[in-house]
């Protein structure tokens, strides 16, 4: 409202002072009226409405700068509803995703596992159909998907960008495992292996088994869920790197997001995939997934291919030239620098090479000071909140 943002830079004359006074009065009046309007309403017929007790509803913006010209889209391609074993009706997924600032969402109810079938009719496309208009209204990209839910091993696969899940295979015998996945290949789906290793007691549950290799060689496996909810599957990250598969992260949410995640912390978000896409469209998301331009994100932690994590870090974090030099009592000189995190991501840095500040925590949208003796040309840090392999963090060199 530019009307209230007028700055008077000269000494106001009498007329201007009257106008300023009137504006202040009007502003005060508007604040009073709006406060009143949102606290209670009397309809004059014996009803007092306590709107003040309602939770304010708004969409959060998750700030992540563009990376090498790509938009960083926040996507969760693994969620459940009552149409399989989730606890919520599909519209709740839409409300949550909108409020949390997601760009894209997929409902991926289980095909082979529908424990609510006595109460909710089995209909594999129904979640998507119930949601698509509301999602469009909310400017959310809704991607159609299903979770192909085989016994472990091989376990579960998500097929997204499908056309129709009604003919998918519901029978869980292992002889049908391959055919069950191939049903979605016929529809040109993007397929990722979900939460490998989720049942550690079962032999072969976290191994690159023959069936998975067969799918991979026949271009029926395009990614692996490296982050699922509250777990990072480190071995799966190595598979993605070594085999050129797309790194995925998802919530696999069954309950309310607010029930499972401590969203009172500013760095806690549902686990998701950051997709570096040329534009905010389903087609651009699909292109980015096929090209493997993703980073999996679980609140403080990021996992992905080194090249993408490095580009993401560079887009988010900036180091300013030294703003202060301190001469110590012993004659040594220290230079001070400001390092800024311009994103809602979280980075933790531990010094590996050079002489300077040993540990830096970059909270979302914040800055820290670092210092180094004069003459230091660079500091090298491990970003310990990231994984580029199961045993390696992203290493960044900060030139001073």
- Pick between residue 100 and residue 252 the one whose CB is nearest to Zn ion: 252
DSSP 229: T
Strands 359-362 and 394-399: unpaired
Nearer to Zn ion, 157 or 347 (CB): 157
The dihedral sign for the CA sequence 339, 340, 343, 345:
positive
The answer to whether 112 contacts Zn ion (rule: CB under 5 A) is: no
Q: How far is the CB of 323 from Zn ion (least distance, A)?
A: 49
User: What is the crossing angle of helices 177-185 and 210-217, to 10°?
Assistant: 20
Does the protein bind Zn ion through residue 299 (CB under 5 A)? no
- Three-state DSSP class for residue 274: strand
275 in Cβ contact with 104 (< 8 Å)? yes
Q: At closest approach, how far in Å is the CB of 153 from Zn ion? A: 13
CB-wise, 181 or 339, nearer to Zn ion? Answer: 181
Shortest distance, CB of residue 228 to Zn ion, whole angstroms?
8
SS (H, E, C) 334-385: EEEEEEEECCCCCEEEEEEECCCCCEEEECCCEEEEEEEECCCCEEEEEECC
Among 81, 184, 194, 246, contact with Zn ion (rule: CB under 5 A): 194
Q: Name residues contacting Zn ion, limited to 16-35 (CB under 5 A).
A: none
Q: How far is the CB of 150 from Zn ion (least distance, A)?
A: 10
Distance between CA atoms of residues 295 and 300, nearest Å: 13
Q: Kindly state the smallest distance separating residue 101's Cβ from Zn ion, in Å.
A: 22
Task: Please state, in angstroms and rounded to a whole number, the distance separating the CA atoms of residues 359 and 391.
Answer: 20
Whole-angstrom Cα distance, residue 233 to residue 231? 6
Residue nearest to Zn ion (CB): 156
Q: Would you say 194 or 343 has its CB closer to Zn ion?
A: 194
**Span from 154-162, 202-210, 278-286, 353-361 in contact with Zn ion (CB under 5 A):** 154-162
Residue 252, interface with Zn ion (CB under 5 A)?
A: yes
Q: How many residues does the chain have?
A: 400
CA distance 233 to 349: 22
Stretch that binds Zn ion, among 63-71, 187-195, 283-291, 316-324 (CB under 5 A): 187-195
Give the binding range for Zn ion (CB under 5 A) out of 32-40, 161-169, 174-182, 246-254: 246-254
Which span sits near Zn ion by CB under 5 A: 34-42, 52-60, 251-259, 352-360? Answer: 251-259
Q: Using CB under 5 A, which of the segments 98-106, 164-172, 249-257, 363-371 binds Zn ion?
A: 249-257
Provide the minimum distance between the beta carbon of 147 and Zn ion in the complex, in angstroms, as a whole number: 5
Contact range with Zn ion by CB under 5 A, out of 33-41, 64-72, 185-193, 248-256: 248-256
Q: Are 107 and 127 in contact (CB under 8 A)?
A: yes
Residues 215-234 that bind Zn ion (CB under 5 A): none
Q: Which of 156, 183, 308, 393 binds Zn ion (CB under 5 A)?
A: 156
Number of residues counted as binding Zn ion (CB under 5 A) = 4
Q: In the complex, what is the shortest distance from the CB of residue 319 to Zn ion, in angstroms, rounded to a whole number?
A: 41
> Minimum distance from CB of 156 to Zn ion (Å)?
4
Stretch near Zn ion under the rule CB under 5 A, chosen from 190-198, 310-318, 322-330, 340-348: 190-198
Q: From the CB of 224, what's the least distance to Zn ion, in Å? A: 13
H-helix or E-strand containing 396?
strand 394-399
Q: Which distant-in-sequence residues (6+ apart) come within 8 Å of 393 by Cβ?
A: 382, 383, 384, 385, 386, 387
Strand 347-353 with 333-341, pairing: unpaired
Q: CB under 5 A: which stretch of 152-160, 173-181, 277-285, 293-301 binds Zn ion?
A: 152-160
Q: What's the start-to-end Cα distance of the chain, in Å?
A: 42
Structure tokens at 77: 């391609």
Note the helical H segments in the chain. 14-39, 90-99, 126-137, 177-185, 210-217, 234-243, 257-260, 282-291, 306-316
Choose among 200, 170, 201: nearest CA to 183: 170
Q: Which is nearer to Zn ion, 113 or 363 (CB)?
A: 113
Rank residues 65 and 204 by Cβ distance to Zn ion and give the closer one.
204
Contact set for Zn ion, span 121-150 (CB under 5 A) = 147
Would you tell me which residues interact with Zn ion (CB under 5 A)?
A: 147, 156, 194, 252
């Amino acid at each position: 409202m530019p009307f209230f943002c007028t700055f008077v830079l000269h000494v106001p004359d009498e007329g201007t002072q009257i106008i300023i006074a009137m504006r202040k009065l009007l502003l005060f009046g508007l604040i009073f009226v709006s406060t009143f309007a949102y606290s209670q309403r009397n309809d004059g017929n014996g009803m007092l409405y306590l709107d003040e007790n309602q939770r304010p509803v708004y969409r959060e913006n998750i700030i992540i700068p563009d990376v090498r010209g790509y938009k960083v889209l926040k996507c969760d391609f693994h969620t459940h509803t009552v149409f399989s074993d989730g606890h919520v009706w599909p519209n709740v997924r839409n409300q949550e995703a909108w409020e949390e600032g997601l760009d894209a969402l997929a409902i991926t109810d289980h095909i082979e596992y529908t424990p609510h079938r006595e109460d909710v009719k089995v209909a594999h496309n129904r979640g998507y159909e119930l949601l698509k208009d509301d999602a469009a209204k909310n400017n959310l990209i809704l991607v159609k998907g299903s979770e192909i839910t085989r016994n472990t091993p091989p376990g579960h696969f998500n097929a997204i960008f499908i056309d129709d899940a009604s003919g998918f295979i519901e029978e869980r015998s292992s002889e049908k495992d391959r055919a069950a996945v191939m049903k979605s290949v016929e529809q040109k789906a993007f397929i990722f292996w979900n939460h490998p290793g989720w049942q550690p007691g079962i032999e072969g549950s976290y191994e690159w088994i023959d069936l998975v290799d067969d799918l991979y060689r026949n271009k029926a496996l395009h990614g692996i869920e490296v982050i699922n909810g509250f777990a990072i599957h480190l071995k799966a990250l190595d598979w993605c790197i070594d085999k050129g598969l797309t790194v995925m992260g998802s919530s696999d949410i069954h309950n309310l997001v607010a029930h499972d995640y401590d969203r009172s912390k500013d760095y806690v978000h549902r686990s998701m995939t950051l997709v570096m896409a040329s534009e905010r469209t389903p087609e651009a998301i699909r292109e980015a997934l096929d090209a493997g331009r993703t980073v999996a994100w679980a609140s403080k932690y990021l996992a992905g291919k080194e090249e993408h994590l490095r580009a993401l870090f560079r887009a988010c974090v900036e180091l300013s030239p030294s703003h202060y030099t301190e001469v110590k009592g012993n004659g040594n000189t220290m230079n001070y620098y400001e390092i800024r995190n311009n994103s809602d991501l979280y980075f933790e840095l531990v010094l590996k090479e050079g002489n300077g500040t040993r540990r830096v925590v970059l909270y979302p949208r914040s800055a820290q000071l670092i210092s180094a003796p004069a003459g230091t040309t660079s500091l090298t840090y491990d970003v310990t909140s990231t994984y580029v392999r199961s045993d390696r963090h992203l290493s960044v060199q900060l030139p001073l």
